[in-house]
Structure formats: C-alpha cells, structure tokens
Amino acid sequence: MEIKKVGVVGCGSMGGGIAQLCAQSGYQVVVSEINDEFLKKGMGAIDKTLARSVEKGKLSQADKDAIMGRLKGTTSTKDFADCDLVIEAAIENLELKKKIFAELDGICPPNAILATNTSCLSIIKMAVATKRPDKVVGLHFFNPAPVMKLLEIVKTIATSDEVLEASQKFGEVLGKTTVVAQDGPGFIVNRLWIPFLLHCIKLYEEGIASREDIDNAIQLGLNYPMGPLTLADMVGIDIVKFVADALYEQLKDPRYIVPTLVDKMVAAGWLGRKTGKGFYDYK
C-alpha cells in the first residue's frame, strides 16, 4: 500500500493545512473546493503561509516553488482518480460526508485509502457509504496542521490492519507522532479537551475571572502554548459548539453541555478569529 499521491477534499483552514503539509512532505497533492472562489482563497492562504516562511529565512524560494508545484487545486472530484489516499476535510455534516465518501468510492482506485479528518462524527457511518469499509480510516489533524505534532488515527471496527499500518507510516512521513483510537465519541483528544475548555468558558461566563486572567493562568501556570479562550477563538466558536453538541448527543454526559454564552456567541456570529470577533477582538 504505497502512498504517492494524496487528495484532500476541502481547502479551508484544516484542508489547506493538510494539503500544504503533504506537499511539504514530498507528496503530489490534489486539493478540491466547491467553487473557484473558495479554491482561490484556500490556495492563496497556503501561498501566503509559505511566503512568510521564505521571508523568515526558514524556507528557500526554490523549495516554496517546488511545494506549490506539487499542489494542484481543483473543483472536480474526478481529479482524485489516481490518488492512493484521499483525506476528506469538508464541513462537519455527516450526510454531506457520506455523500463525499460514496462519490470518492466510485472515482478512486479500488486500493485507495479513504480517510476523514472529522473531529467527532462516526467514521463507520461514512465507511458504510462505500464498498470498501476496510479501507476507511480517521486521520484527525490538529490546527494548524503543518505545525501540530500529533496525528490521531481512528480505527473503526471494519478498518483493516494493513490500512492502519499504512496510515501510521504516512503519519511518520509527515513528521507526526501518531496515536491510535477507536471510533468512539471525540476519540482521545476532543473527548478530554472539550470538557476542560467548556469549564474554562463557564468560569468566564460566571465572572470568576477575566478572559485574560483565565488565559494567562492556564498558559503560564500549566505551560500551554496559548490560553484556552484564545485557542477557542483560533479553532472557531462554531466548531467548539458543534463538537461539544455532537459529544453530548452521543455520551449524554453533562460535562459536554455548552455554556449559554457559546450559544449566544454563535447566534451573534462571534465565531473567533475568522469573523474578527470571539472572546477577543481581532479587527
């Protein structure tokens, strides 16, 4: 099961980051978006990130050109026809993901691995939309994908050992440390992180401390790279709500109930960095 060419469905912040990382690691990459406008935006963001690395002297212009040369943007799923691995990083909607998997199953070579970057949805439900459930696996990257050191590999009851092994090897080529989790609610990281994050938000909602003090307490007191509210703004408040709601739906554990403040922020469009306002202002 040799992986030479990788497809990525979706060129938003996660899909774009994954596509960039794969191209940086030497793979030929095809990345798709639903229209030209989104594709241009996603490819532009990758180009800008790499240009910043050139400016900082961390990447040569020739290497940047080579990485961009390995990346092909498309709006047609047919371009995945010769991919050995396709990673779906579309929005978190199970019905949409099932449709994407069924379509990829009809287009990709019979041996190709079909992966999802879902944060919290059931992977076996996507796998059964294909005729190759043994070749469906979760490859859960963390934001920003080119930088974060972890790749969570999620194995369903149908994933074959061969596909698991190929996924672990792929993770190594990307320079990641891999962990393996079963296809259960939130896998490892989100199952543990979400209750902690919601608790931090509750503290802020109850006025126990200011947003800055909560962030400083965790960042400096526990040596985290950034405070939890800053991180929530980076991930997106809508994503935090979606993941927490999905986990509550599956686990019925009150630790996954989002504070009212999160509902209000989503209703107001305060989704974090991407909308210019979340717990903090970014305008």
Where along the sequence are the contacts to ligand 3HC (CB under 6 A)? 17, 49, 52-53, 56, 58, 119, 142-144, 146-148, 190, 225-226, 231, 235, 239, 243
> DSSP per residue over 160-181, as a string?
-HHHHHHHHHHHHHTT-EEEEE
SS3 for 91?
A: coil
From the CB of 130, what's the least distance to ligand 3HC, in Å? 23
Is 76 one of the catalytic residues? no
Q: Which is nearer to ligand 3HC, 129 or 237 (CB)?
A: 237
152 is catalytic: yes
Which amino acid belongs to residue 53? S
- Catalytic pick among 117, 119, 122, 167: 119
Min dist CB 133 to ligand 3HC, Å, is 23
Burial 66-79 (b: 16+ CB within 10 A, else e): ebbebbbbeeebeb
For residue 259, what is the DSSP state? P
Going by the DSSP 8-state scheme, the letter that residue 257 receives in this structure is P
Q: Identify which of residues 112 and 231 has a Cβ nearer to ligand 3HC in the complex.
A: 231
HSE (CB half, 13 Å, CA atoms) of 27? 26
**Whole-angstrom Cα distance, residue 169 to residue 20?**
18
As measured in angstroms, the least distance from the Cβ of 255 to ligand 3HC is: 17
- Residue among 4 and 58 whose Cβ is closer to ligand 3HC: 58
Peptide bond into 144 cis (omega under 30): yes
Shortest approach of ligand 3HC to residue 195 CB, angstroms? 14
Give me the catalytic one of 152, 162, 206, 212. 152
The catalytic site residues sit at: 119, 140, 152, 190
